[in-house]
């Protein structure tokens, strides 16, 4: 796939450090939270009979791929990610758990995927909007690569989220600065930076790539105080909001002191008994029509 102009690599586009140990730990917990909210690694609406070879794109530390391998020992699960640290961790976990039906490779998914055509029956893509520039043609290029490596009739599934919604003032102020900074960096489809606006685009991406029978399913994770996910959410925010601070400061929309003060106050609010928060997701899937 020839580039007519420079396409930022996944590493260049990611607004947190993909080689960070803190980010790896955060992504592991987040993946578990998301898979649980989705009811498992595969939706019951998806026919699993013909799914043998599976690709997990931007797999991070491999949590989804490893769970798939454990639940479906007759399937071959391949995970790819740009982070060597995360791939090494995923390989170690697979070895420790004797999951010999897993294969992990370092790969930049914003370039051509290093697989033969018609290699996979199911392609899983979760939470990649953070490094897919709105202003470039990253999404069309990437989906065409997915179509190329998927077998005819194979399923391509995209899952992404909108920003968290809470009832806490300092938390919402900090959330607003983060979405604005991400918007200014070119990583949202929002017109004003109040939302990421990625979820309305997912079905369009699949249709434009030539997929048929495109379906979707929405769900929300309750991150409120007293919920099963509250502690995991708090730990996620401790790391994630800290990792986003340099981006917010770099855009000039807030000073370092302002961001650090809001960060401390937001974490205090999240721990309060009256904290309420929802995290919305949309998963979409379609069949490769080639």
Inter-CA distances, 87 with 31, 33, 57, 66, 120, Å: 15, 20, 12, 12, 20
Domain contains 2:
no
Its sign, for the CA torsion 74, 149, 15, 158, is: negative
Domain assignment present for 137: yes
Has residue 272 got a pLDDT over 70?
yes
Write down the residue that tokens 């202003």 correspond to: 135
136 against 250, higher pLDDT: 250
What totals of helices (H) and strands (E) does the chain contain, helices first? 10, 8
pLDDT of residue 290: 78
Residue 45 lies in a domain: yes
The kind and range of the H/E element at 22 are helix 21-37
Structural domain includes residue 243? yes
User: What pLDDT does residue 18 have?
Assistant: 64
**pLDDT for res 48:** 82
Closest CA to 74 of 49, 55, 57: 49
Distance CA 91, CA 112 (A): 23
If one compares 4 and 276, the residue with the highest pLDDT of the two is 276
- What's the pLDDT at 74? 96
Residues 138-142 have a mean pLDDT of: 94
What does the alpha-carbon distance between residue 246 and residue 181 come to, in Å, rounded to a whole number?
10
Q: Please give the pLDDT value at position 15.
A: 56
What is the pLDDT confidence band of residue 118, given thresholds at 50, 70 and 90?
very high
- The residues that bridge with 224 in the sheet, in sequence order, are none
Q: Are 290 and 156 in contact (CB under 8 A)?
A: no
102-112 tens-digit pLDDT:
999 999 999 99
% of the chain at pLDDT higher than 90: 75
More confident residue, 253 or 17: 253
Give the model confidence (pLDDT) of 42-75 as tens digits.
987 788 888 999 999 999 999 999 999 999 999 9
* pLDDT tens per residue, range 221-238: 999 999 999 999 999 999
In a domain, 5, yes or no: no
Q: How far apart are CA 242 and CA 225, in angstroms?
A: 21
CA dihedral 197, 225, 247, 30 (to 10 degrees): -70
Say which residues have a Cβ less than 8 Å from residue 113's Cβ, sequence separation at least 6: 80, 107, 145, 146, 148, 149
| Strand pairing class (211-222; 277-288) | antiparallel
The confidence score (pLDDT) of residue 6 equals 35
Between 99 and 138, name the one with better pLDDT: 99
CB 169 within 8 A of CB 178: no
Q: Contact, 37 vs 218, CB < 8 A?
A: no
- How far apart CA 264 and CA 152 sit, in angstroms, is 51
Q: Mean pLDDT, the chain, as a whole number? A: 91
Whether the predicted pLDDT of 10 surpasses 50: no
58: left (phi over 0), alpha (psi -120 to 50) or beta: left
The two beta strands, 102-106 and 76-81, are parallel
Is residue 94, in this structure, part of any structural domain at all? yes
Please give the tally of structural domains in the chain. 1
pLDDT of 135 above 70? no
Among 8-17, 62-71, 161-170, 171-180, whose mean pLDDT is lowest?
8-17
Residue 140 domain flag: yes
Q: Which residue has the higher pLDDT, 177 or 15?
A: 177
Q: Give the CATH number for residue 252.
A: 3.40.50.150
Within a domain: residue 3? Answer: no
Banded model confidence at residue 1, pLDDT cuts 50, 70, 90: very low
Give 160-169 pLDDT, tens digit per residue: 999 999 999 9
Q: Is residue 23 over pLDDT 90?
A: no
Q: What range does the domain containing 81 cover?
A: 10-288
């Amino acid at each position: 796939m020839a580039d007519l102009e420079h396409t930022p690599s996944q590493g260049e586009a990611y607004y947190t450090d993909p080689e960070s140990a803190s980010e790896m730990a955060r992504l592991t917990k987040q993946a578990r939270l998301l898979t649980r909210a989705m009811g498992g690694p595969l939706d019951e609406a998806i026919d699993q009979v013909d799914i043998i070879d599976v690709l997990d794109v931007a797999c991070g530390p491999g949590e989804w791929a490893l769970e798939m391998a454990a639940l479906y020992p007759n399937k071959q699960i391949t995970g790819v990610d740009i982070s060597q640290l995360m791939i090494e961790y995923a390989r170690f976990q697979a070895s420790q758990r004797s999951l010999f039906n897993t294969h992990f490779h370092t790969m930049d998914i914003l370039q051509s995927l290093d697989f033969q055509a018609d290699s996979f029956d199911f392609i899983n893509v979760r939470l990649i909007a953070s490094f897919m520039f709105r202003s470039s043609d990253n999404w069309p290029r990437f989906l065409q690569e997915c179509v190329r490596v998927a077998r005819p009739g194979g399923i391509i599934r995209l899952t992404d989220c909108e920003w968290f919604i809470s009832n806490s003032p300092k938390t919402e102020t900090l959330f607003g600065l983060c979405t604005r900074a991400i918007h200014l960096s070119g990583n949202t489809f929002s017109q004003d930076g109040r939302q990421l606006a990625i979820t309305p685009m997912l079905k369009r991406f699949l249709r434009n790539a030539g997929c048929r029978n495109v379906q979707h399913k929405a769900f929300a994770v309750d991150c409120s105080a007293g919920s099963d996910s509250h502690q995991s959410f708090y730990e996620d925010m401790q790391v994630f909001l800290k990792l986003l601070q340099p981006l917010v400061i770099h855009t000039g929309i807030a000073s370092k002191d302002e961001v650090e003060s809001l960060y401390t106050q937001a974490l205090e609010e999240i721990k309060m008994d009256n904290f309420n928060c929802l995290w919305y997701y949309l998963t979409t899937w379609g069949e490769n029509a080639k």
